[in-house]
Amino acid sequence: MDGNGRWAIQRGLPRLAGHRAGTENLRRIITACVEFGVRYLTIYAFSTENWGRPREEVQGLMRILEDVIDRELAELHREGVQLRHIGRLERLDPKVQEKVLQAIELTKDNQRLVLNVAFNYGGRDEIICAIQRIIRDGIPADRVDTGLVSRYLFTAGVPDPDLIIRTSGELRVSNFLIWQTAYSEWYITQTFWPDFDKEEFKKALDTYARRDRRYGGLTQPVEETDA
Ligand code: FPP
């Protein structure tokens, strides 16, 4: 959800106003996901590196997380949204941790859309955490394969993403789902996140639908091509 800060600065507003506008937009995109039949949405709301931002911005983002749960949870639950969290909760305010856990518990049986919230999340941190748990569980080295590692990640049970959308034109992975996106398709748009509306989202999905996903293989077997 990149470009909130620049969106605000362009309007002479504080950066947090951009994050709030980004949060309102997230609401619209969640509704669009339900309408378009998207079953899994993962949002990158706060990275392990975002702690390095000014205190006021970090605190503001924590407050937004809490406000979203307070204000939106009942409606998300009604819409059939299952909330999940990826990342480490332990560094957050205990009151916020409790709210996140309650939201997860309340919505755990919802099936319409799984909304994975990456908060205090980092791809490298996730892999380190998985390796530590694999070692602690005494898993023999020759049992470590792709499926096993996937089951030890924060995203266990969630399919790898088909499409990654990055707004604001940045061409970086930024430590996001670095294991899971090995064969994801990318869609980059110059639009700042608060302006990334339902039409743009539809355009991204349409573009994705025309992609030829080969997973390192070939679209057609070689024999057929030769023939
Ligand atoms: C990146 O834009 C955005 C973020 C680091 C925060 C995104 C968070 C939200 C929209 C809040 C939603 C959170 C929840 C839990 C619902 P940027 O600040 O890097 O923008 P810039 O590149 O223009 O400075």
**pLDDT confidence of residue 224:** 55
Does pLDDT of 222 surpass 70?
Answer: no
The confidence band for 213, taking pLDDT boundaries of 50, 70 and 90, is very high
H/E segment holding residue 33: helix 15-36
pLDDT digits (tens, 9 = 90+) for 33-48: 999 999 999 999 999 9
Does 66 have pLDDT greater than 70? yes
pLDDT for residue 219: 80
**Helices vs strands, H then E, count in the chain:** 8, 5
Q: Which of 86, 151, 80 is nearest to 117 (CA)?
A: 86
Q: Which atom of ligand 1 is nearest to the CA of 25?
A: 10
Q: What is the pLDDT of residue 197?
A: 97
The C-alpha atoms of residue 144 and residue 152 are separated, in whole angstroms, by 11
Catalytic residues: 2, 50
Pocket lining for ligand 1, CB < 6 angstroms: 1-6, 19, 22-23, 26, 45, 50, 61, 64-65, 68, 117, 119, 168
Average pLDDT along the chain:
96
What single-letter amino acid sits at 221?
A: P
Q: How much is the pLDDT for 227?
A: 43
Mean pLDDT of 209-226: 79
Annotate 57-120 with DSSP letters as a single string: HHHHHHHHHHHHHHHHHHHHHHTTEEEEEES--TTS-HHHHHHHHHHHHHHTT--SEEEEEEEE
**Tally of CA atoms within 13 A in the half-sphere of 168 that contains its CB:** 15
Residue minimizing CA distance to atom 7 of ligand 1: 45
Burial of 128 (0-12, 13-18, 19+ CB in 10 A): exposed
List the domains of the chain with CATH numbers.
4-204 (3.40.1180.10)
